[in-house]
Structures are given as C-alpha cells and as structure tokens.
Structure 1
C-alpha cells in the first residue's frame, strides 16, 4: 500500500491516491487539468502492480474467487508432493546409505522441483516483482527461504551428500500456502458487507418507450427522467419516483427493518430495494453512479482508507521490516558460521529466521478490523465514510446535539384540543387545511370529514390563515395576530383561533422527540459521554426538550457561526466532541467537530459533512456506533499486541536455532490468521458496550 501510494503521489498528474487492501482497489484523484490515466497505469505496471480500470458502478468481486481457487489448487499440489517426499525421506531417516540413499534423494528432487515451481509461484512472482523494481515486500524473505532450501538440497544431491531438505522445502510451501489461503478467505469474509451489496446491484433495467413498448437496457444507460418498469420480485435499479402502480417493498437495506413498506404514486424509492407484490412504473431520479446503493458502496470502500494514528504506526513498522529482517538473517548466518563452522546448519537457521518473522499480522491489524467494523455498522444501518472516523469516534468524550430535526422530528405534535363547539370545530378544520405550515398540518390531522367552503381566504406568512366563515371573520395562527379580532387573549403556548368578537382558543404544540432520543442520551451517559444541546431556537423551547431528555447543558439562539465557535472552544479545552446534526445550518459545525454523525434525513450538505450517516430514524444508532468504535479500537490494540508478542517470542527462538523452517511456516501463518480471526469478532452483536479499560497484554492474551 505504501509503495503504491508513494509512487503515484510523486507524479505531477496525481493529486491523491488511496489503496484499499481488502478490496484490492486503488482510488486515484487526477491533478487539475489531467484527463488521461494511461501514465498512471504505466507507473503501476513499472512498480510491479499492474492494474485494470473498473467501472465505478461495477460492484463485482469475481476476481477474488479466481485467486482463491488458484491458491486452493496450489495447496492440493503442495500437499500431494509433501506426502510423497516425506515417504521417501522415511527410508533415509531409517538408515538408508550409499546408492539407495542417493536414489531416494534424486527421486525426491524430481518430485520437489516441479511442485515447488508450481505451488510456490505466488511467492516467487510477488518477490521478483518487488526486487525487479528495487523494493522489498513480505514475500521476498519467504521466496528466498524456499529457494535456499531447494538450492542446498540440489547441491547436496549432486555431490552425494547425506543431508537434503526437499521434504522441508515442499512441506514448508504446503503450510505457507495453507496460511495464505486461510488468510485470503478470512479477509474475503471480512469484506462480506461489500459482496452483499454487490449481489443487490441490478445489471439491467426495463425502459418504457413513448408508445408503451418495453426495452431492456444496461443499468449504466439509465438517465434521469427515463421511465422504467419494475416487475414484482425485482430490485429497484436506480433511485426512482413512482408514477404508476402500488406495491410493498423490502427496504431492509435502507432501514434495517424486515417489515415490508407500502408505496404508491409519488413516493421516492432507493436503488437496491426489493419490489415484492406488484409492478411499478417509475421515473429515474439519478444515474446508477449517484444512486443510494452506489453511495453506500463508496462509503464502504473508504472504510480502511483513513490514516489514523494506528495506521501510521503500522505503515512505519512495515517500511522498516524488510531491511531489518534480511540484516538479521545475515547476522544470524554469520554468527552460526563463527560458532559452528557448519555452513549448512548456519543456512538452515537463517532460513528459519527469514520465515518466522511476520509483518503480515502487523499490516493486517488495522485495515481488516476497520473493514469488519464497517460491515458490522452497515448491518445496523450506519455508514462510515472514512476509516479514521472510527478511531476519532472511539476517542470522543462529549456529545453535542442539534435539536430540531435531530433530537426532535421537526414536526410538531398537538398536546390537546381545547373545547370546541361545532361551528368552531368546522372553522378550525377548514382554516388549517388551507395552510402548508407544519403547525397547521398538525392541527388539520386531528379533524376528519368534509371541509366547509371558505370565502376571502388569505394566508399571511409568519402570521397565519384568515377567512370569512358564515359571514364572520376568523383567524388561525399567531396569538398576537388572532387577538386583533378576538374579545380576549388566552394564555398559553401554540397557535390561536378566534371568530371576530369571540373568545380566543389555544392549540398547545410540542416537538416530537425522535425515536430512541431519550434512550440514546441515557446510554451515552452510561458510557461516560455527557450531552449538550446547541440550537437556534428560543431558550424556552430548548429548555423543554432538554428537560424531557434530562440534558443539563444547553445553548439556545445559536447561529451556525456560534455553533462553530462553541466546538472550537471545546477543542481548545481538550474536549473531543461528537457532533450530531442534520440541517444545512449544521454543516460547518459537523465539519468542525472532532467527529460527526448525521441522519439520512439530513440535508445533502449535512450528510456530506458528516463522518458517519445513520439510515434509521432511531437515535440509538449513535451509542451503537460509539460502542462498535470502542470495540474496534480494542481489537486493533489486541492485534498489535498479538503481532508484537509473536515476533518477540518467535524471532529469538529462530535465531537460537530452536525453530525449523517447517515450524516457522506454521507459526507465521497462524499469527496472520489469528489477527484476522480476532478482527472478525467485531461482527458479533453485543447487548451492552464494555467500558472498562483493559491492558494491552491482557487484551492480547484474551
């Protein structure tokens, strides 16, 4: 990853390059004015990493299956060779001498050479590509160790020597391939969230022509405004608006809920939703590259691209690995030569040192954990836009909430209806139905039946609705405005209604809390994260919501600049704030905060500024994301602990000559698999987050 990114970053036509290890993909942002990728592809070819352009909408990962199959075939071939060479070695170990021993050595060579050439080609090709371009990678010492073991054995066979290592070389290749295959499959499981999304991607769509004729087209040919036909049992190809038909949809991809949702004309539906019961005609809203499903894919592909503190540590360690381990092997060889004057024994120990060191566990410590965590969050409807966001979220120590649209739904609820006679009831229903104001809609929803016709209807923005009903003027809206025609002024909150010369009636409203708001604040408090509310609303309104949520700290009548200033002040105090907001006015605050989250119902700008986006309306997604982030941090530290502990134990044993190449291969592969398996624990659901700190060694041993 580091070699590719450094090589591309050095080019004038590249502004930024990021490598995704798990998905084996490179995202390149060309420099301003550059349109050709030919030079970039040539550079990747030169440094030994040939690349192929892929369509951004192409979600398939089929090449991974071919690699896994090739590795499995190599494992089978190496296993077959190892069994046969071991059988021949038994005779030599049993005391065969002279011509019999030399014959068995020769047969072992005839079996081992083609098998090692075929099965170990993964290591040889990778190592040669690195060395040819003046670099080192983790396969260089492995390839060197296997080649040295084979070369020593062929030399001894040619001169009739007593000791050969064909059995060790072939069995070494066998166990190294087992480790490589298991590591590959477990990383494939780690990206299961991505492959799950890939299976939801629709490859084609059915266009409805002007005359009603149907034509099948590729999904990347769909353009906004095109009319599409979606049959029952098919998935929605792109984001659409329904123009004909009604059906039930499985929107579990979006909401995480398994219950079907009924939709009809005028409803907007996201790409990837499953049409369950009836055919639909719909108009495409966005091309496939900009669809909901594509945006989810893009968020997942960046899951391990963040450059947090742990990633930088791993990068530095991996950069030092190759020169240090080759120098250590050389020093080990020289030391054993001086001590024993036995070059074969010295080479054998040096081979073990080359094999036993394991940089892959260190390299996998962060990215695999981040990819598994991203899949775990996505299963609960939380999308992560940057892998470093997990690290920042785990370090958050305070939650700053926007109120309207975040803690509350932004839609008022009517607390109670005043006592109304029939004339007033009819008048209120008629006036409320004439306005699009949220408060008027809330009042209108409490009345059913026919609406009486009105005369001289007028709506004054900021005041309310007025009309003539039965020859009398009537108003519904702001209390001070309604009081101008009423005989009195009723105390209380909320909109008011009155006939001219009649008594004023009040309709008390209160904001509805978003689902899970109280539970989220309570859960965060248990996780030692205090909450505060920043809102542009009046102090009394903010205080009522804070009282219902038991939030003590509030700041009201805050402008967007005030919110940014507050977050900057918290940062200067050393507070790492998690900002949760949704509106256009929260965009700057979301970008300023240490880490930020936004609901899917937020404005486009708000979603773009946030580090994480949760798709459900339930605010319990916030403590859930924090819990997963903290678990991910612990898993990463455990992975580092495992890798360090392994190398601290294995390398001295190998230098002391207590580890054979075969045992070294098993141990090295096992350490990589252990790191990946430890990361996969993140996919397990837990009911409550653990908050007690654990020591690094305790976590590693656990």
Structure 2
C-alpha cells in the first residue's frame, strides 16, 4: 500500500524502510510525505529543503513548519527516497511516517511543557519565600549556619527543577549549536546553567549570595510562552488532519456491476461513484445519473445549493444534500479541487514561515554580543594579573547581569497580556506572531459570505399576502433547504395542514393544502417556463397556477459598513473577493462602500491575487470563513476568521473572533499596534539597562547580589510596562 496507509503502519525499525511509504506519481517518479521533528524556525526549513534539492534527482522538497510535515519527490529508484530521508536525519532532524503520530506527538509535547511549567512554578514559589528570608537579614544576625542551611534547601529545590523544567530550552540550544547557529534559547540556557553552577559553588564555599530564584523565575515565564506556541502549532496540525481526512476516507464505487468500498486515494479517472444524500463528494467528476442539489459553500462560498443534472460538474469536498446520484470521476483525488486546496495551504504556510519575529532578530544580535563580552571580561582580568577565580566570577557576573530575562520576557509577557485582554472580548489568538504581523498590515481582503454577511438568507420582499406566506411556510417546514428555512423563520403564525407532500430534489416541494395543489420552489418548475433564472435569490409559490415570488438577501453584518469605513480611514486598502456571482458581489460592495471587488473567484484565483499583492510589498490581512478561503488565509501575512466558520478554516486562521459583528477585527488591530509598541519599548528598556549595567559588571564594581537585584528589577520593569496593555485606551 502507499503513503496514505502510513497512518496504520509502525515506525520503520531500519533506516532503509522509509521508501515503503512512497507513492508512485504519474510521471514514473515517487513522492514521500514524512513527519519531521525539531523544526523550530525558517532557517531549519531552508536547511532541509536546500539539502534535498542539492541532488539533481529531486524534483521538489517542501517543509511545512506549522504541521511539521516534509514532502519530497524524486525520479529514479524508489530506494533513493531512503537515502534522502537519512540525509535529513543526519542534519539532526527526526523523521517518522506521516500519520496518526502527529496528534500524539503534539499532545505529548503539550503535556511535557505543562509538567515542566508545574515544576517550575512550585520551585519558584518556594525559592521566593526562602529568598525573602535570606535578603531580609544580614549574615551576622542570621548566622552562617542558618544561611548555609537555607542555601542547601534552595539547592535541593532548584537543581532538580532546573534540570527537569529547563529541558525544552537546553535541548533547543543543543540542536541549534549542532546546526551552527544560535537562537534565543542559547543565552537563556547558558545564563541559567552558569547562574546555577555559580550558586552551587557559592553554597559549597559558604558564600553569601545565590541566584536560583532568578533562574527558576525566568524558566517559569518562558515556559508559558513556549506552551502557547505549541498550542498554536497543534491547531495547525488539526487543520491538516481535517483536510487530509477528506482525502483519506472511503467511497462507494461500481466495479463490474457490484458495489465496493475503496479508499478515496485509489479512485482513478473514469470510475463510477455512488453518492448518497448527506455524503461529501470524494473527487471531482461529472454527474452520470440522477438529479440532486449540492452544497457548494465550502468551495465557492455561495449560500444557495446548486442544482445538478446529468452532465454537470461537481467538486470534491462539496456535499450532496438531496437525493442519491452517480458520478464519473474526472480526476484522481490528489488532482481534485480539494487536493489543490491542500497543496495551496501547504505552499502558503511555507511562505508564511519566512517571517522573522522581533525576538529572533534580537537574539541574532544579542546572543553573540553577550558571549563575546563575557569572554573578553574573563580574558581581561587574567591579562591584568588577577586569579582565574576572580576573572570567572566577573565573567559570570556579566552573564548574570545581562541574563536575557528582560529580553526573554519582552515578547511573551506582552503577548500573554494582549491575548488575555482579547480573550475576554471573545477573540482567540492562535498564532504566536499574529499580533506582530497584524500591526504592520496595509491591505485588508474580505470574503463576502459569512464574513461581510452572516451567511444565511433572509426574506425581504414584502410584496406578498400574509395568507401566501402562511401556505409557503406550511410547505417549507418539511424541507431542509436554506430558503425553505428562511421562509419558516419569517412566519410565526399557525401553520396549515398539508397532504401528499413530495420533494423534488433540485426543484422544490409539492403538496395539497385542502383541495389546492401547491408548489414551492424554482421559478420555471412553478410554471414560469418562459422566464430565465436571475441572479437574485428567490423562491416561487404556485397555488393552482397562481404564482408569486419571495425574495431574499444574504444578511449583512450590522457593522459591516462602519468596519470598512474604519479600514479606509486609517489608510488600508480594502478588497472584496468572493466566489459568488459578480452581480451579487457588486451589490454587497456598493452597500458597504468597497470600490475594489471581484466575484466568481476560485480558491486558486484568490491565492494568485494575494501573491501578486505580496510581490508588490503589500502586508495583507485576510478575513474569511469557508474552505475556499483556507488557502488564502494561510497565504496572507495574517488571517482572521469568525467563530461561525467551519473547523478547517478556524484552524487555519491566526485569530478567531466571536459574535455577529466585525468590531472584534478593529479591536484586535488596535491591540496589535499597542502590543508591538510595548514590545519595542520593552526591548529598549532592556537595552538601556544593559548599556548602564554592563560597564560596571565588566570593571568589577558590581557584586553578584547587586547583579541579581538589577537583573530581577529589569524584568520587573518589563512586566510592569507590559501591563499597560490592560489600559482603558484599548477596551
């Protein structure tokens, strides 16, 4: 079996068995999808991709950092895939068959971080109480024996906690150094280890000052930020899993006159597939037999189901909502529109992962600078004839006083407070860098159905008799069609008794009310054979050939116009992209004041449009709710989705907001700008502190106690500054 069966396979015991999961492509090449571990940044992605592309046999290599998935294809022997996989392993990255292990790994990481967080929190609380006792009494009053006793209690509490809770940072640092680059975890790990070793040295030698409390406090706060990042990645993996489930299920096909359930991946062009009511269509195809209605909202965003007859095209991922029909597969599952959406999302995520966060930029400069400063301090004191113990003490003091507590806390504390503030307003941040990106946007792209509108039809035309509405509602309650449900909601009175109810899929409902034959449905089916269908949303009622029309609109969110006006007033370019007809899109755009709009846009077209804007330097916020929006949500610099959106879209979006209004988008932008400002202020405060403190530490004028107090004070200043995010100005 091929790659999609890898979910049910065990991890290969030998390094040469990855190729058994490879899938043979149409051009006689092979492709392989694996779960990749230890991918932490954009440079990791580039490193893996470039290492594979060095070989001329490799046709493509893609790493999705959010889903931790590696996909590569090649020409030549199937076993060559094992050579390529082992090359990635040699770089220090773990590989597994892509499948159910993804969810288990993510959950395992979350549990590990929570345990580390709990241990660090317990240790921090106890060490702080001990520190208060140590700092509140002078040694001559406390006594050396008492001081030593408290120091050893601190050792017993701190060292196991640091060893256990610091693992995520220590392992990250080791992996980074193996790959010959440094991340923010390197100076953090070094400072924690040296501060701990110096504290242990001081304890053994009956010294006066130890710094375990500062080291554990730093670990505690950083673990909070790391846990939130892992949670965000987990959501992205859920999105991938949900999409892949649509491609990896089973379908009923007719083979030699008999029904067979086969994996969707094994469907070939020309096969006949049976689609039952309520089923999702597995592949793109053409209706061979039967009449039904298909919900296209996941693909096109259109609210109203489409009538399909023999010869009409249908697409993978859409849902049959009326009667059973047969279709002839026109494409294999991997080549279907849904398959293209999966591919687009993967490509978009790779593009998105190139973003370099402020913290990473700071780490690239700060890390080597601190290490060089400490080394020069150590060498300088040796050159001037001092003992190695004093030289090491001053070097460690430099590392302690420059311990990246303030820098390390500058981003996560601000993000946690901003996220908490937004969460109280029904806004969920799912991406660690969403606020940084949102603060820099200049273009807003909006979907229509479910975003500017509520995604549900509402009866608007009052040119009908109440008795007609009563009759229509009496029939409509027997149908699940969206327009029938809108009729039912519009009428709150007593319903009439109906007989001989019969629903004709794709056309409407027929019944008898008393002695009158009544039809409720499409224009032509109700007797207007000579009239053409219009772009308006309408439903016709025929009572003994007496005809009347009910008209509907997709309800605008009540603050849609004000939200668009806000975007325009602050200088954003506002664009409307929708899969609905040009006429409907034009009407909505005019109502809300958008001059740049496009209708009948496919998911691929949306991505191409966004790519063109990004090449011109635009920073894009995309807001959408349907499956057709998922690739463009991934491709945009930052994305938002209402909580009414489908699960796949919510998992793809960086931010999810609740409610039936769009004001949360404005609030999030305001908070994002304030958060970015405060993060930059935090970095400036940390830099200013280091500019003052480092010279004193290098010259030996700072005792370890003062260094610890100064380090803690700088962290406290950063935390207090971040609490401004709870100010009234952004409520």
Match of 2:125 in 1: 69
2:37 to 4, 12, 16: 16
Q: Distance in 2 between matches of 1:559 and 1:432?
A: 32
Q: Distance in 2 between matches of 1:612 and 1:685?
A: 22
Matches within 5 A, 1:304-323: 308-317=356-365, 319-320=367-368, 323=371
Structure 1 segment 72-471 matched on structure 2, within 5 A: 72-79=128-135, 83-86=137-140, 113-119=148-154, 137-142=190-195, 169-170=207-208, 172-173=209-210, 176=211, 179=214, 308-317=356-365, 319-320=367-368, 323-334=371-382, 337=385, 352-420=397-465, 422=467, 424-455=468-499, 457-471=501-515
Q: How does 1:407-556 map to 2 (within 5 A)?
A: 407-420=452-465, 422=467, 424-455=468-499, 457-484=501-528, 494-502=538-546, 504-514=547-557, 516-556=559-599
- Cα deviation for residue 577 of structure 1 reads 1.6
Report deviation, 1:453: 3.7
Tell me the CA shift for residue 589 of structure 1.
Answer: 1.9
1:56–1:645 CA distance, 2 compared to 1 (3 A): closer
Residue 414 of structure 1 deviates from its aligned partner by 1.6
Judged with a 3 Å threshold, the aligned counterparts in structure 2 of structure 1 residues 610 and 85 are, in CA distance, closer, same or farther, namely same
- Pairwise CA RMSD: 4.8
Query: Which one is further off, 361-370 or 634-643?
Result: 361-370
- Residues in 2 aligned to 1:87 and 1:430: alpha-carbon distance in whole angstroms: 90
Distance 2:549 2:384 in 1: 95
Pick one of 569, 579, 588 that aligns with 2:631.
588
* 2:686 maps to 1:633: no
CA contact (8 A) 2:607 2:631 kept: yes
TM-score (norm 1): 0.60
How much does 1:555 deviate? 0.6
Q: Secondary structure at the match of 2:622?
A: strand
Q: Deviations over 1:238-288 (max 9, x none)?
A: xxxxxxxxxxxxxxxxxxxxxxxxxxxxxxxxxxxxxxxxxxxxxxxxxxx
User: Secondary structure of the residue that 1:479 maps to in structure 2?
Assistant: coil
Q: By how many angstroms is 1:138 displaced? A: 0.4
**Structure whose CA Rg is larger:** 1
Gaps of 5+ in 2: 1-14, 16-33, 42-66, 70-93, 178-185, 230-352
Contact 1:542–1:556 (CA under 8 A) maintained in structure 2? yes
1:32 aligns with one of 88, 91, 96: 96
Distance in 2 (CA, whole Å) between partners of 1:554 and 1:560 is 15
> What is the CA–CA distance in structure 1 between the aligned matches of 2:388 and 2:115, rounded to whole Å?
53
Shift of 1:327: 0.9
Q: CA deviation at 1:347?
A: 7.9
> Relative to structure 2, which stretch is displaced further, 607-616 or 448-457?
448-457
Taking the aligned partners of 1:140 and 1:609, their CA distance within structure 2 comes to 38
Q: Which residue of 1 aligns with 2:687?
A: 644
Whole-Å Cα distance in 2 between the matches of residues 500 and 486 of structure 1? 18
Match of 2:706 in 1: 663
Listed as ranges, the gaps of 5+ residues in structure 1 are 1-11, 21-26, 42-51, 89-106, 155-165, 195-304, 689-702
Give the structure-2-normalised TM-score: 0.58
Structure 1: distance between partners of 2:534 and 2:633: 41
CA contact (8 A) 1:369 1:632 kept: yes
Contact 2:191 2:399 in 1 (8 A): no
Indicate if the aligned counterparts of 1:485 and 1:500 stay in contact, CA closer than 8 A.
no
CA contact (8 A) 1:539 1:556 kept: yes
Q: Deviations over 1:155-190 (max 9, x none)?
A: xxxxxxxxxxx8xx52x43xx466557767877998
1:561 aligns with 2:604: yes
Residue pair 1:183, 1:676 contacting (<8 A) in 2 also: no
8 Å CA contact retained: 1:361, 1:671: yes
Report what 1:624 is aligned to. 667
Distance across 2 between alignment mates of 1:55 and 1:355:
30
Supply the distance in 2 between the matched residues of 1:661 and 1:490 (Cα, whole angstroms).
80
Residue 248 of structure 1 corresponds to none
Work out whether residues 398 and 530 of structure 1, in 8 Å CA contact, stay in contact via their aligned partners in 2. yes
Moved more, 118-127 or 406-415: 118-127
Contact 1:85 1:112 in 2 (8 A): yes
Q: 1:634 to 1:349 in 2, by over 3 A?
A: same
